[in-house]
Amino acid sequence: MALLSLTASHHELDLDALERLSTGAHSIGGSAVAACDVITGAVVLATCNRFELYLDVDAPLDGTGVQHATEHVARMVAEASGVEVAEALASFRTRAGTEVAEHLFAVASGLDSMVVGEREIAGQVKRALETAHADGVTSSTLELLFQTASRTSKKVSTHTTLGGAGRSVVALGLDLAAAELPPWPQVRAVLIGTGSYAGASLAALRALGCDDVRVYSQSGRAEEFAAARGVEAVTDLVAALEDADLVVSCSGARGRALAADAARPGAERREQAIEHVLDAAAVVRARERAAVRAGEEPVARPTVVLDLALHRDVDPRVADVEGVLLYDLATLAAHSPSIASELVTQARAIVDEATRAFEKTRLGRAADTAVVALLADAERRVALEVADVVALREADGDPVEPDEADEIARGVRRRVHADLHRAIVAARAEAVAAAQAEERAVVADAQALVHEAAGVR
């Protein structure tokens, strides 16, 4: 068994490229397991700024095997997203073995996020495993990997203040919006979406003192969402926008439309137009209605729009509407604050410790053969020593009774095993180090082969 991950994030790709690549992401895990015999488990982690696949591969870990699995999955991603195979291949970074755990643990702890220290990612990592488990496409190794990632994230949260300030994409967006808004208790907000990000956005707004929140959803779930949280559901988005100071859009509905469209035949897919959840025309109509209602009084308040969806809920042309300020993920990434290096160092130390412990468990199986061989050799030594003692006693005319022979054997075994402990520790460490070195070499070789196949130089 070998752990592999294919990762693409805002560190390597711009958000437009990441958006294209992640279309149809959630179907990839099940498809990979169903279509490739050597892939025994898969978990997909797709968030607003990353698209990652974690695979359990039942095949010898060599460069060709890693290359085959990587290319196979990249072709499936290309088919689901509509990008070229070469683009998909070039977009992913391949990791194996120790690097897989180290990366996921850092991701789950908020160390690899657009806003370092953000806490939403911990829930997203947990839900990624739950989804794969519900779909029946995990493996015992992937279950352990993701469960350990969640425990590591919780330990970072408990033992450091990295996420203590409520750092998140939502919080950063609201911080930027605040400069253009009235005091929070006076803000009239419209929330588009009913998913986990919508819940986090509503909680953040309430924490700031904003209680005038209306919820809109294309899916028809606004009533249920609003009733459970004590806010108002609306069905006419344009009417709701008329007096809105702030719009927070995080529905991901356009992403789902893109994914469904990507499943269509190629020609039909190209002809299909994907509409934004909030387009410029709707915003213009809302501003015009507000102006008519105001009469001679100018519409002094601007409308701030936060688009927190990777697949852009909001038409970028909204930014051209007079009196409207649009902040999307790219804007938020550019304004992401730095964080104290000592906090990152503390969190990294926890991640490193968790990685070592996980790898000790995972790679312990690689050392089992060596340990079993040492134990078998020790038993042979015990048997030989006992046989020698019995032979000497019998040569002196002092036969050894069975019970006494057993006692002699126990004494010899205690002595031999005391010496053996150091040898077992050394053998296990050597086997684990050898496995890690092999995995690093294999991944480097496979990455070179994959990039060569993708035409990357």
Q: Tell me: the pLDDT tens digits for 110-127?
A: 888 877 877 788 889 999
Tell me the CA distances in angstroms from 394 to 224, 383, 389, 401, one per residue in order: 88, 16, 9, 10
Residue that wins the pLDDT comparison between 362 and 391: 391
pLDDT value at 189 more than 90: yes
According to the model, what pLDDT value does residue 78 have? 86
Length of the chain: 457
Of 207, 208, 197, give the one whose Cα is nearest residue 308.
197
Q: Are 38 and 59 in contact (CB under 8 A)?
A: yes
Return the active site residues. Answer: 48
According to the model, what pLDDT value does residue 272 have? 42
Average pLDDT, the chain: 81
According to the model, what pLDDT value does residue 350 have? 95
3-class SS at 327? strand
pLDDT value at 102 more than 70: yes
Report the alpha-carbon distance of residue 443 to residue 106 in Å, rounded: 19
According to the model, what pLDDT value does residue 255 have? 52
According to the model, what pLDDT value does residue 209 have? 95
- The pLDDT of 326-348, averaged and rounded, is 81
User: What are φ and ψ of residue 249, in 5° steps?
Assistant: -115, 120
Report the alpha-carbon distance of residue 178 to residue 342 in Å, rounded: 29
According to the model, what pLDDT value does residue 223 have? 93
3-class SS at 233? strand
Query: What is the residue type of 132?
Result: A
pLDDT value at 226 more than 90: yes
pLDDT value at 457 more than 50: no
Report the alpha-carbon distance of residue 83 to residue 21 in Å, rounded: 7
Highest mean pLDDT (candidates 12-21, 37-46, 52-61, 391-400): 37-46
According to the model, what pLDDT value does residue 35 have? 83
Tokens of 11: 């560190």
Beta-bridged to residue 41, according to DSSP, are: 56
- The pLDDT of 149-173, averaged and rounded, is 82
Q: Are 69 and 4 in contact (CB under 8 A)?
A: yes
Percent of the chain exceeding pLDDT 70 equals 79
Residue that wins the pLDDT comparison between 393 and 352: 352
Helix axes 140-159, 98-108, angle to 10 degrees: 40
Q: 10 Å Cβ neighbour count for 11?
A: 11
Could you give the angle at the alpha carbon of 77 between the alpha carbons of 75 and 83, nearest 5°?
A: 85
pLDDT value at 271 more than 70: no
Beta-bridged to residue 47, according to DSSP, are: 50
Q: Are 207 and 165 in contact (CB under 8 A)?
A: no
Q: Which of 66-70, 97-101, 327-331 has the lowest mean pLDDT?
A: 66-70
Q: Are 128 and 43 in contact (CB under 8 A)?
A: yes
Q: Are 89 and 71 in contact (CB under 8 A)?
A: yes
Beta-bridged to residue 216, according to DSSP, are: 192
pLDDT digits (tens, 9 = 90+) for 305-316: 999 887 788 999
According to the model, what pLDDT value does residue 254 have? 55
Residue that wins the pLDDT comparison between 433 and 392: 392
Report the alpha-carbon distance of residue 16 to residue 86 in Å, rounded: 17
According to the model, what pLDDT value does residue 265 have? 47
- The pLDDT of 144-150, averaged and rounded, is 95
According to the model, what pLDDT value does residue 130 have? 94
Tokens of 322: 């007079």
Report the alpha-carbon distance of residue 300 to residue 250 in Å, rounded: 26
According to the model, what pLDDT value does residue 196 have? 74
Residue that wins the pLDDT comparison between 118 and 258: 118
